[in-house]
Amino acid sequence: MKKPCKYCKSTEHIIDFCPEILCKICNERGHPHWKCKVKVTEKKPDINEIKIDETKIIKPYSEKLRDCPTLNSIDDYMNIINIPWGELKL
């Protein structure tokens, strides 16, 4: 028994060749969008070609960072319990 077409359920063809299916790209009948000949694929830029605007990079303020002693005891943890995690310099 042949597998039916996932679009129209006919056993005469599969979805790749369904005469009823409508392409989302060119709006023509007879092929799904993944088989469309019209679609244009753009080349993605190389990672070295991407320009980064360094003025938009948010850097942490080092003057806010607090030195943290080695955490060996419960007292050490209790001393830092109210300091926000972002301000701890471990």
- pLDDT tens-digit profile of 44-72? 778 888 888 888 887 766 666 666 667 78
Closest CA to 12 of 3, 20, 21: 3
CA distance 48 to 45: 8
89 Cβ neighbours under 8 A, 6+ residues apart: 65, 66, 67, 68
| C-beta neighbour count of 58 within 10 angstroms | 5
Confidence (pTM): 0.41
Q: Where are the domains of the chain?
A: 1-40, 59-89
- pLDDT tens-digit profile of 66-90? 666 677 888 877 877 787 777 777 6
